[in-house]
Structure 1
């Protein structure tokens, strides 16, 4: 990989450097998800479906309400996405144990297989980028990404990682 472009020292708050950072974020996002997008598109699915598969895969028995909070979408939008995933046999829902009105979500075996395939490409790309960047840069990335989040998103992230 060619030497990465770096902002001028002590000038990282200039408008052109901040815009360059946004450019980096958007170009990296597009490139990072390219493999997943292609596989999902072939199935008639998109990034919203991928995000649901990812979070439900990370937290089996996630409630619909918790998923709504993580994704920050409307019930109607989530309903369309979940409907497609359930119809495609990728996610199943069941009532909660304590509250039968609660709907708990988990991946089906087909959903687990798809999520594993999608994550495999993302894992390889993240691992490559982490290895090429080094531990200090990865730590800086984690710090910067958390500082891009609102206070609410930071709290969600911390709670999500707490278990």
Structure 2
């Protein structure tokens, strides 16, 4: 990565840049960063016949044991039909298990199996290495700045919910 980053066209809150053009540089950097961020897990997931949807489900089920299907649908914002297909495969291949709720027997609580936990951890370690490399040569407070930036990309009405999920708190 070059030492000097070209000047970014910082958009105004209304979505325009100072030059009146969309922030193509930031938009494209987000596309390319996401492409590479998921590329390492994609290769491993492919060995299991899984895709990114499987990764997202496994990630959140592993991070929040006992997650309900309704909660998972809320986190992922996908259709129940889409989730059912992915979840069925993860359950059939014994990466996730579904248990009946104790308080409400109609509820299905989701848990990663030991095999599912191991895969989720393997994928998370790959992505953690990429994040660590990106932050390695940056200022000490770069992680805080990146965290604030990513949180502000989230819709304001969902931000507190995401903060609770990610940090276990109301505010960062």
Alignment match of 1:12 (pick from 10, 13, 19): 10
1:113-133 CA-partner distances (Å, limit 9, x unpaired): 111111111111111112222
For 2:111, what is the secondary structure of its paired residue? strand
1:7, 1:17 within 8 Å by CA — same for their partners in 2?
Answer: no
Structure 1, unpaired ranges of 5+:
none
Alignment match of 1:132 (pick from 137, 140, 144): 137
Inter-partner Cα distance in structure 2 for 1:95 and 1:62:
11
Q: CA deviation at 1:35?
A: 1.0
Q: CA deviation at 1:101?
A: 0.6
Q: How many residues align?
A: 161
Inter-partner Cα distance in structure 2 for 1:19 and 1:57:
35
Residue 162 (structure 1) aligned with residue 168 (structure 2): yes
1:9-34 CA-partner distances (Å, limit 9, x unpaired): xx522255721101111100111111
For 1:44, what is the secondary structure of its paired residue? coil
Inter-partner Cα distance in structure 2 for 1:72 and 1:4:
38
Residue 24 (structure 1) aligned with residue 22 (structure 2): no
Inter-partner Cα distance in structure 1 for 2:142 and 2:135:
8
Greater relative contact order (Cα 8 A, min sep 6): structure 1 or 2?
Answer: 1
Alignment match of 2:154 (pick from 140, 149, 162): 149
Q: Normalized per residue, which structure has more helix?
A: 1
1:62-108 CA-partner distances (Å, limit 9, x unpaired): 11110000000010000001001001110001011101111100100
Alignment match of 1:77 (pick from 66, 82, 107): 82
Of residues 23-32 and 127-136 in structure 1, the stretch that sits farther from structure 2 once superposed is 127-136
Inter-partner Cα distance in structure 2 for 1:4 and 1:47:
34
CA-based RMSD of the aligned residues comes to 1.7
Inter-partner Cα distance in structure 1 for 2:132 and 2:142:
13
Alignment match of 2:50 (pick from 41, 45, 50): 45
Alignment match of 1:88 (pick from 70, 93, 104): 93
Inter-partner Cα distance in structure 2 for 1:126 and 1:132:
11
